[in-house]
A and B are shown apart, each in its own frame.
Chain A
Amino acid sequence: MELVRQSIALLSFFVIPTMLVAFPLYGLYKRVPVYEAFVDGAKEGFNVAVRIIPYLVAILFAIGMFRASGAMDFMADALGPLLALVGFPAEVLPMAIIRPLTGSGSAGVVAEMIQVYGEDSLFVKMAAVMFGSTETTFYVVAVYFGAVNIKKTRHAVPAGLTADFAAMLIAVWTVRLLFG
Protein backbone atom coordinates (compact mmCIF):
# COMPACT_ATOMS: atom_id res chain seq x y z
CA MET A 1 0.00 0.00 0.00
CA GLU A 2 2.96 2.28 0.66
CA LEU A 3 3.85 2.00 -3.03
CA VAL A 4 0.31 2.82 -4.15
CA ARG A 5 0.12 5.86 -1.93
CA GLN A 6 3.55 7.07 -2.96
CA SER A 7 2.76 6.79 -6.65
CA ILE A 8 -0.57 8.60 -6.26
CA ALA A 9 1.18 11.23 -4.15
CA LEU A 10 3.89 11.59 -6.79
CA LEU A 11 1.31 11.94 -9.54
CA SER A 12 -0.64 14.53 -7.61
CA PHE A 13 2.50 16.65 -7.25
CA PHE A 14 2.48 17.09 -11.01
CA VAL A 15 -1.19 17.77 -11.69
CA ILE A 16 -1.25 21.46 -10.72
CA PRO A 17 2.18 22.46 -12.10
CA THR A 18 1.36 20.74 -15.39
CA MET A 19 -1.93 22.61 -15.63
CA LEU A 20 -0.34 25.92 -14.69
CA VAL A 21 2.21 25.55 -17.50
CA ALA A 22 0.30 23.58 -20.11
CA PHE A 23 -2.79 25.80 -20.32
CA PRO A 24 -0.97 29.07 -21.09
CA LEU A 25 1.54 27.30 -23.33
CA TYR A 26 -1.15 25.64 -25.42
CA GLY A 27 -3.07 28.92 -25.40
CA LEU A 28 -0.06 30.69 -26.89
CA TYR A 29 0.18 28.01 -29.54
CA LYS A 30 -3.49 28.59 -30.35
CA ARG A 31 -2.78 32.36 -30.54
CA VAL A 32 -5.00 33.15 -27.55
CA PRO A 33 -4.07 36.43 -25.78
CA VAL A 34 -3.24 34.39 -22.67
CA TYR A 35 -2.51 37.18 -20.22
CA GLU A 36 -5.68 39.04 -21.09
CA ALA A 37 -7.74 35.86 -20.93
CA PHE A 38 -6.28 34.96 -17.53
CA VAL A 39 -7.03 38.36 -16.01
CA ASP A 40 -10.49 38.29 -17.52
CA GLY A 41 -11.28 34.97 -15.89
CA ALA A 42 -9.56 35.77 -12.59
CA LYS A 43 -11.74 38.87 -12.14
CA GLU A 44 -14.58 36.55 -11.25
CA GLY A 45 -12.73 35.17 -8.21
CA PHE A 46 -13.71 38.03 -5.96
CA ASN A 47 -17.37 38.00 -7.00
CA VAL A 48 -17.68 34.26 -6.47
CA ALA A 49 -16.14 34.45 -2.99
CA VAL A 50 -18.45 37.29 -1.98
CA ARG A 51 -21.48 35.48 -3.42
CA ILE A 52 -20.70 32.44 -1.23
CA ILE A 53 -20.59 34.40 2.05
CA PRO A 54 -24.33 34.45 2.93
CA TYR A 55 -24.69 30.73 2.21
CA LEU A 56 -21.64 29.81 4.22
CA VAL A 57 -22.66 32.03 7.15
CA ALA A 58 -26.12 30.47 7.18
CA ILE A 59 -24.78 26.92 7.25
CA LEU A 60 -21.79 27.42 9.55
CA PHE A 61 -23.46 29.43 12.30
CA ALA A 62 -26.20 26.81 12.63
CA ILE A 63 -23.60 24.03 12.80
CA GLY A 64 -21.53 26.00 15.30
CA MET A 65 -24.53 26.49 17.56
CA PHE A 66 -25.46 22.83 17.30
CA ARG A 67 -21.95 21.74 18.30
CA ALA A 68 -21.76 24.18 21.20
CA SER A 69 -25.15 23.14 22.59
CA GLY A 70 -24.02 19.61 23.48
CA ALA A 71 -26.83 18.19 21.35
CA MET A 72 -24.31 15.91 19.69
CA ASP A 73 -23.67 13.98 22.92
CA PHE A 74 -27.37 13.51 23.34
CA MET A 75 -27.75 12.26 19.76
CA ALA A 76 -24.90 9.82 20.29
CA ASP A 77 -26.62 8.48 23.41
CA ALA A 78 -29.98 8.21 21.69
CA LEU A 79 -28.78 6.64 18.44
CA GLY A 80 -26.18 4.34 20.00
CA PRO A 81 -28.41 1.33 20.80
CA LEU A 82 -30.13 1.61 17.41
CA LEU A 83 -26.89 1.53 15.47
CA ALA A 84 -25.44 -1.23 17.62
CA LEU A 85 -27.94 -3.47 15.83
CA VAL A 86 -26.02 -3.07 12.56
CA GLY A 87 -22.64 -3.51 14.27
CA PHE A 88 -21.91 0.18 14.58
CA PRO A 89 -19.84 0.86 17.72
CA ALA A 90 -21.00 3.77 19.88
CA GLU A 91 -17.40 4.98 20.22
CA VAL A 92 -17.21 6.15 16.60
CA LEU A 93 -20.72 7.62 16.51
CA PRO A 94 -19.57 11.19 17.31
CA MET A 95 -17.37 11.02 14.21
CA ALA A 96 -20.25 9.85 12.03
CA ILE A 97 -22.47 12.67 13.28
CA ILE A 98 -19.93 15.44 12.94
CA ARG A 99 -18.35 14.42 9.61
CA PRO A 100 -20.97 15.92 7.26
CA LEU A 101 -21.14 19.07 9.40
CA THR A 102 -17.54 20.24 9.76
CA GLY A 103 -14.17 19.19 8.41
CA SER A 104 -11.97 20.74 11.08
CA GLY A 105 -14.35 19.51 13.79
CA SER A 106 -14.09 15.93 12.60
CA ALA A 107 -10.29 16.17 12.41
CA GLY A 108 -10.51 17.24 16.05
CA VAL A 109 -12.56 14.15 16.85
CA VAL A 110 -9.94 11.89 15.20
CA ALA A 111 -7.19 13.60 17.21
CA GLU A 112 -9.19 13.16 20.42
CA MET A 113 -9.87 9.49 19.66
CA ILE A 114 -6.14 8.88 19.10
CA GLN A 115 -5.59 10.27 22.61
CA VAL A 116 -8.27 8.10 24.17
CA TYR A 117 -8.05 4.80 22.27
CA GLY A 118 -4.52 4.85 20.85
CA GLU A 119 -3.37 5.10 17.25
CA ASP A 120 -3.63 1.36 16.56
CA SER A 121 -7.17 0.86 17.84
CA LEU A 122 -9.97 -0.26 15.57
CA PHE A 123 -12.04 2.78 16.54
CA VAL A 124 -9.39 5.19 15.35
CA LYS A 125 -9.03 3.25 12.10
CA MET A 126 -12.79 3.42 11.56
CA ALA A 127 -12.89 7.14 12.25
CA ALA A 128 -9.92 7.74 9.96
CA VAL A 129 -11.52 5.81 7.11
CA MET A 130 -14.73 7.81 7.62
CA PHE A 131 -12.74 11.00 7.50
CA GLY A 132 -10.84 9.98 4.39
CA SER A 133 -13.74 8.62 2.40
CA THR A 134 -16.38 11.34 2.79
CA GLU A 135 -16.68 15.07 2.40
CA THR A 136 -18.11 17.85 4.55
CA THR A 137 -21.51 17.66 2.88
CA PHE A 138 -22.98 20.90 4.21
CA TYR A 139 -19.88 22.91 3.33
CA VAL A 140 -19.96 21.59 -0.23
CA VAL A 141 -23.67 22.45 -0.50
CA ALA A 142 -23.06 26.00 0.74
CA VAL A 143 -20.07 26.68 -1.50
CA TYR A 144 -21.17 25.02 -4.75
CA PHE A 145 -24.79 26.11 -4.68
CA GLY A 146 -23.94 29.47 -3.10
CA ALA A 147 -21.64 30.30 -5.98
CA VAL A 148 -24.58 30.22 -8.41
CA ASN A 149 -27.23 31.50 -5.98
CA ILE A 150 -29.15 28.22 -5.86
CA LYS A 151 -31.44 28.32 -2.84
CA LYS A 152 -33.80 25.44 -3.62
CA THR A 153 -31.48 22.47 -3.33
CA ARG A 154 -34.14 19.79 -4.03
CA HIS A 155 -32.88 16.26 -3.33
CA ALA A 156 -29.18 17.22 -3.08
CA VAL A 157 -28.95 17.14 0.72
CA PRO A 158 -30.86 13.85 1.16
CA ALA A 159 -28.73 12.20 -1.54
CA GLY A 160 -25.51 13.50 0.02
CA LEU A 161 -26.55 12.40 3.51
CA THR A 162 -27.61 8.97 2.25
CA ALA A 163 -24.16 8.51 0.75
CA ASP A 164 -22.56 9.74 3.99
CA PHE A 165 -24.59 7.35 6.08
CA ALA A 166 -23.69 4.46 3.78
CA ALA A 167 -20.02 5.46 3.87
CA MET A 168 -20.02 5.39 7.70
CA LEU A 169 -21.45 1.87 7.76
CA ILE A 170 -19.13 0.64 5.01
CA ALA A 171 -16.14 2.17 6.83
CA VAL A 172 -17.00 0.23 9.99
CA TRP A 173 -17.53 -3.02 8.13
CA THR A 174 -14.42 -2.67 5.96
CA VAL A 175 -12.17 -1.96 8.92
CA ARG A 176 -13.65 -4.92 10.80
CA LEU A 177 -13.09 -7.13 7.78
CA LEU A 178 -9.51 -6.02 7.18
CA PHE A 179 -8.24 -5.54 10.72
CA GLY A 180 -10.86 -7.06 13.05
Chain B
Amino acid sequence: MPRDLRRRLVSTVMTSLSALSVLVALVPLGLLLFFVAVQGAAAISLDFFTQTPRPVGEPGGGMGNAIVGTLILCGTAALIAVPIGVLSGMFVVEFPQSPLAPAVRFAADTLNGVPSIVVGIFVYAIAVEPTGGFSAMAGGIALGVMMIPLITRTTEELLRLVPASLREGALALGATRGRAVLTVVLPAALPGIVTGVMLALARVAGETAPLLFTAFGNRFWSTDLTEPIGALTLQVYAYAISPYDDWHRQAWAGALVLLALVLGCSLAARAATRRLERMHR
Protein backbone atom coordinates (compact mmCIF):
# COMPACT_ATOMS: atom_id res chain seq x y z
CA MET B 1 0.00 0.00 0.00
CA PRO B 2 1.39 3.42 -0.84
CA ARG B 3 2.57 5.27 2.21
CA ASP B 4 0.33 8.26 1.60
CA LEU B 5 -2.80 6.18 1.35
CA ARG B 6 -1.93 4.35 4.54
CA ARG B 7 -1.46 7.61 6.41
CA ARG B 8 -4.81 8.89 5.26
CA LEU B 9 -6.42 5.60 6.12
CA VAL B 10 -4.96 5.64 9.64
CA SER B 11 -6.18 9.20 10.03
CA THR B 12 -9.71 8.28 8.96
CA VAL B 13 -9.77 5.27 11.25
CA MET B 14 -8.58 7.26 14.25
CA THR B 15 -11.05 10.07 13.55
CA SER B 16 -13.87 7.56 13.37
CA LEU B 17 -12.70 6.03 16.63
CA SER B 18 -12.95 9.41 18.31
CA ALA B 19 -16.51 9.77 17.03
CA LEU B 20 -17.19 6.24 18.27
CA SER B 21 -16.01 7.15 21.77
CA VAL B 22 -18.65 9.88 21.94
CA LEU B 23 -21.18 7.23 21.05
CA VAL B 24 -19.78 4.93 23.76
CA ALA B 25 -20.51 7.64 26.33
CA LEU B 26 -23.92 8.55 24.96
CA VAL B 27 -25.31 5.01 24.79
CA PRO B 28 -25.26 4.49 28.59
CA LEU B 29 -26.65 8.00 29.05
CA GLY B 30 -29.51 7.22 26.68
CA LEU B 31 -30.18 3.84 28.28
CA LEU B 32 -30.16 5.34 31.75
CA LEU B 33 -32.53 8.18 30.91
CA PHE B 34 -34.75 5.76 28.99
CA PHE B 35 -35.07 3.28 31.85
CA VAL B 36 -35.64 5.93 34.49
CA ALA B 37 -38.28 7.64 32.34
CA VAL B 38 -40.13 4.46 31.38
CA GLN B 39 -39.94 2.60 34.71
CA GLY B 40 -40.48 5.77 36.70
CA ALA B 41 -43.45 6.96 34.68
CA ALA B 42 -45.10 3.53 35.06
CA ALA B 43 -44.82 3.69 38.84
CA ILE B 44 -45.54 7.31 39.59
CA SER B 45 -48.90 8.56 40.78
CA LEU B 46 -50.34 11.40 42.80
CA ASP B 47 -50.01 9.25 45.94
CA PHE B 48 -46.29 9.18 45.40
CA PHE B 49 -46.11 12.88 46.25
CA THR B 50 -48.59 12.91 49.11
CA GLN B 51 -48.16 9.61 50.98
CA THR B 52 -45.46 8.20 53.23
CA PRO B 53 -43.84 4.79 52.66
CA ARG B 54 -46.07 1.82 53.54
CA PRO B 55 -44.91 -1.29 55.38
CA VAL B 56 -43.90 -4.36 53.38
CA GLY B 57 -46.79 -6.09 51.66
CA GLU B 58 -49.09 -3.11 51.71
CA PRO B 59 -49.23 -1.75 48.15
CA GLY B 60 -49.25 1.96 47.39
CA GLY B 61 -47.71 4.65 49.52
CA GLY B 62 -45.29 7.27 48.36
CA MET B 63 -42.31 9.40 49.20
CA GLY B 64 -43.97 12.70 50.08
CA ASN B 65 -42.05 12.93 53.32
CA ALA B 66 -38.77 12.17 51.56
CA ILE B 67 -39.36 14.89 48.97
CA VAL B 68 -40.02 17.39 51.73
CA GLY B 69 -36.98 16.04 53.56
CA THR B 70 -34.72 16.61 50.57
CA LEU B 71 -35.98 20.18 50.28
CA ILE B 72 -35.39 20.83 53.99
CA LEU B 73 -31.90 19.32 53.83
CA CYS B 74 -31.02 21.40 50.78
CA GLY B 75 -32.41 24.54 52.38
CA THR B 76 -30.38 23.99 55.54
CA ALA B 77 -27.29 23.28 53.46
CA ALA B 78 -27.76 26.50 51.49
CA LEU B 79 -28.24 28.54 54.66
CA ILE B 80 -24.89 27.26 55.91
CA ALA B 81 -22.94 27.23 52.68
CA VAL B 82 -24.05 30.40 50.90
CA PRO B 83 -22.74 32.94 53.44
CA ILE B 84 -19.50 31.04 54.02
CA GLY B 85 -18.98 30.35 50.33
CA VAL B 86 -19.77 33.85 49.10
CA LEU B 87 -17.74 35.64 51.78
CA SER B 88 -14.71 33.38 51.43
CA GLY B 89 -14.87 33.79 47.64
CA MET B 90 -14.99 37.53 48.23
CA PHE B 91 -11.91 37.29 50.45
CA VAL B 92 -9.93 35.54 47.73
CA VAL B 93 -10.73 38.30 45.23
CA GLU B 94 -10.36 41.26 47.58
CA PHE B 95 -7.21 40.25 49.44
CA PRO B 96 -5.14 38.42 46.85
CA GLN B 97 -1.88 39.46 48.50
CA SER B 98 -2.86 37.71 51.74
CA PRO B 99 -1.22 34.30 52.21
CA LEU B 100 -4.67 33.04 53.17
CA ALA B 101 -6.04 33.60 49.64
CA PRO B 102 -4.18 30.76 47.89
CA ALA B 103 -4.83 28.61 50.96
CA VAL B 104 -8.58 29.16 50.57
CA ARG B 105 -8.46 28.24 46.90
CA PHE B 106 -6.43 25.15 47.64
CA ALA B 107 -8.76 24.19 50.49
CA ALA B 108 -11.82 24.67 48.29
CA ASP B 109 -10.33 22.48 45.56
CA THR B 110 -9.39 19.86 48.12
CA LEU B 111 -12.80 19.93 49.74
CA ASN B 112 -14.37 19.52 46.33
CA GLY B 113 -12.42 16.30 45.87
CA VAL B 114 -13.09 14.81 49.31
CA PRO B 115 -15.28 11.71 48.85
CA SER B 116 -18.81 12.38 50.03
CA ILE B 117 -18.74 9.35 52.33
CA VAL B 118 -15.77 10.89 54.17
CA VAL B 119 -17.77 14.09 54.65
CA GLY B 120 -20.42 11.85 56.19
CA ILE B 121 -17.93 10.42 58.71
CA PHE B 122 -16.67 13.90 59.57
CA VAL B 123 -20.14 15.31 60.19
CA TYR B 124 -21.08 12.21 62.18
CA ALA B 125 -18.16 12.98 64.47
CA ILE B 126 -18.92 16.69 64.87
CA ALA B 127 -22.73 16.81 64.75
CA VAL B 128 -24.18 13.37 65.48
CA GLU B 129 -21.99 11.93 68.21
CA PRO B 130 -22.00 15.09 70.40
CA THR B 131 -25.77 15.57 70.12
CA GLY B 132 -26.51 11.91 70.67
CA GLY B 133 -28.51 11.19 67.55
CA PHE B 134 -29.02 11.41 63.83
CA SER B 135 -30.71 14.63 62.78
CA ALA B 136 -31.83 16.68 59.81
CA MET B 137 -29.44 19.36 61.02
CA ALA B 138 -26.47 17.01 60.70
CA GLY B 139 -27.62 16.05 57.20
CA GLY B 140 -27.88 19.72 56.26
CA ILE B 141 -24.38 20.37 57.60
CA ALA B 142 -23.01 17.46 55.57
CA LEU B 143 -24.57 18.77 52.36
CA GLY B 144 -23.47 22.29 53.31
CA VAL B 145 -19.84 21.16 53.63
CA MET B 146 -20.11 19.76 50.13
CA MET B 147 -21.65 22.99 48.78
CA ILE B 148 -19.12 25.40 50.27
CA PRO B 149 -16.23 24.79 47.85
CA LEU B 150 -18.55 25.01 44.84
CA ILE B 151 -19.89 28.40 45.96
CA THR B 152 -16.49 29.74 46.97
CA ARG B 153 -15.05 29.06 43.54
CA THR B 154 -18.11 30.33 41.63
CA THR B 155 -18.19 33.55 43.66
CA GLU B 156 -14.50 34.09 43.07
CA GLU B 157 -14.87 33.66 39.32
CA LEU B 158 -17.92 35.87 39.06
CA LEU B 159 -16.52 38.71 41.15
CA ARG B 160 -13.48 38.75 38.89
CA LEU B 161 -15.75 39.20 35.88
CA VAL B 162 -17.22 42.45 37.20
CA PRO B 163 -15.59 45.32 35.30
CA ALA B 164 -12.96 47.13 37.38
CA SER B 165 -14.51 50.48 36.40
CA LEU B 166 -17.54 49.75 38.58
CA ARG B 167 -15.39 49.23 41.65
CA GLU B 168 -13.17 52.17 40.82
CA GLY B 169 -16.21 54.39 40.39
CA ALA B 170 -17.48 53.46 43.82
CA LEU B 171 -14.07 53.99 45.41
CA ALA B 172 -13.70 57.34 43.64
CA LEU B 173 -16.98 58.44 45.18
CA GLY B 174 -15.42 57.81 48.57
CA ALA B 175 -16.89 54.42 49.39
CA THR B 176 -14.81 52.21 51.62
CA ARG B 177 -13.65 48.95 50.12
CA GLY B 178 -16.28 46.94 51.94
CA ARG B 179 -19.02 49.28 50.84
CA ALA B 180 -17.84 49.20 47.23
CA VAL B 181 -17.81 45.41 47.18
CA LEU B 182 -21.06 44.84 49.04
CA THR B 183 -23.19 47.50 47.36
CA VAL B 184 -21.72 47.75 43.86
CA VAL B 185 -19.58 44.76 42.88
CA LEU B 186 -21.62 42.02 44.56
CA PRO B 187 -24.98 43.12 43.10
CA ALA B 188 -23.41 43.16 39.65
CA ALA B 189 -22.25 39.56 40.12
CA LEU B 190 -25.36 38.43 41.95
CA PRO B 191 -27.33 36.83 39.10
CA GLY B 192 -24.35 34.65 38.28
CA ILE B 193 -23.81 33.73 41.90
CA VAL B 194 -27.46 32.72 42.21
CA THR B 195 -27.13 30.36 39.27
CA GLY B 196 -23.95 29.02 40.83
CA VAL B 197 -25.84 28.32 44.04
CA MET B 198 -28.54 26.53 42.05
CA LEU B 199 -25.94 24.34 40.37
CA ALA B 200 -24.45 23.52 43.75
CA LEU B 201 -27.91 22.69 45.10
CA ALA B 202 -28.59 20.43 42.15
CA ARG B 203 -25.34 18.67 42.89
CA VAL B 204 -25.94 18.04 46.60
CA ALA B 205 -29.65 17.22 46.21
CA GLY B 206 -28.55 13.99 44.55
CA GLU B 207 -26.12 13.01 47.30
CA THR B 208 -26.79 9.88 49.31
CA ALA B 209 -23.55 8.84 50.96
CA PRO B 210 -23.13 11.87 53.29
CA LEU B 211 -26.71 11.41 54.54
CA LEU B 212 -26.48 7.72 55.43
CA PHE B 213 -25.28 8.37 58.97
CA THR B 214 -26.25 12.01 59.43
CA ALA B 215 -29.87 12.51 58.31
CA PHE B 216 -30.28 8.72 58.48
CA GLY B 217 -33.74 8.61 56.86
CA ASN B 218 -37.22 8.53 58.29
CA ARG B 219 -40.34 6.76 57.07
CA PHE B 220 -42.66 9.32 58.60
CA TRP B 221 -43.44 12.99 58.11
CA SER B 222 -40.90 15.09 59.94
CA THR B 223 -39.82 18.70 59.62
CA ASP B 224 -37.96 18.76 62.93
CA LEU B 225 -34.29 19.66 62.45
CA THR B 226 -33.29 17.69 65.56
CA GLU B 227 -34.89 14.43 64.39
CA PRO B 228 -33.79 12.03 61.65
CA ILE B 229 -35.33 13.01 58.35
CA GLY B 230 -36.11 11.20 55.12
CA ALA B 231 -34.52 12.11 51.82
CA LEU B 232 -35.41 11.09 48.30
CA THR B 233 -31.97 9.58 47.73
CA LEU B 234 -32.02 7.59 50.99
CA GLN B 235 -35.49 6.24 50.27
CA VAL B 236 -34.54 5.24 46.73
CA TYR B 237 -31.49 3.45 48.14
CA ALA B 238 -33.48 1.61 50.79
CA TYR B 239 -36.03 0.49 48.23
CA ALA B 240 -33.54 -0.38 45.51
CA ILE B 241 -31.66 -2.89 47.67
CA SER B 242 -34.86 -4.40 49.11
CA PRO B 243 -36.16 -7.70 47.74
CA TYR B 244 -39.71 -6.47 46.99
CA ASP B 245 -41.00 -5.72 43.49
CA ASP B 246 -43.40 -3.10 44.73
CA TRP B 247 -40.58 -1.23 46.45
CA HIS B 248 -38.45 -1.50 43.30
CA ARG B 249 -41.22 0.24 41.37
CA GLN B 250 -41.28 2.98 44.00
CA ALA B 251 -37.50 3.29 43.73
CA TRP B 252 -37.79 3.97 39.99
CA ALA B 253 -40.47 6.56 40.62
CA GLY B 254 -38.21 8.15 43.23
CA ALA B 255 -35.29 8.16 40.80
CA LEU B 256 -37.46 9.87 38.19
CA VAL B 257 -38.52 12.61 40.60
CA LEU B 258 -34.95 13.03 41.82
CA LEU B 259 -33.59 13.23 38.30
CA ALA B 260 -36.28 15.73 37.31
CA LEU B 261 -35.41 17.83 40.35
CA VAL B 262 -31.65 17.71 39.83
CA LEU B 263 -31.61 18.09 36.06
CA GLY B 264 -34.39 20.69 36.13
CA CYS B 265 -32.42 22.75 38.62
CA SER B 266 -29.13 22.51 36.76
CA LEU B 267 -30.73 23.08 33.33
CA ALA B 268 -32.51 26.19 34.61
CA ALA B 269 -29.23 27.46 36.01
CA ARG B 270 -27.43 26.81 32.75
CA ALA B 271 -30.12 28.53 30.72
CA ALA B 272 -29.83 31.54 33.01
CA THR B 273 -26.06 31.44 32.65
CA ARG B 274 -26.36 31.46 28.89
CA ARG B 275 -28.67 34.46 29.00
CA LEU B 276 -26.26 36.30 31.31
CA GLU B 277 -23.36 35.56 28.98
CA ARG B 278 -25.25 37.03 26.08
CA MET B 279 -26.10 40.11 28.14
CA HIS B 280 -22.47 40.70 29.05
CA ARG B 281 -21.29 40.51 25.47
Same complex origin of A and B: no
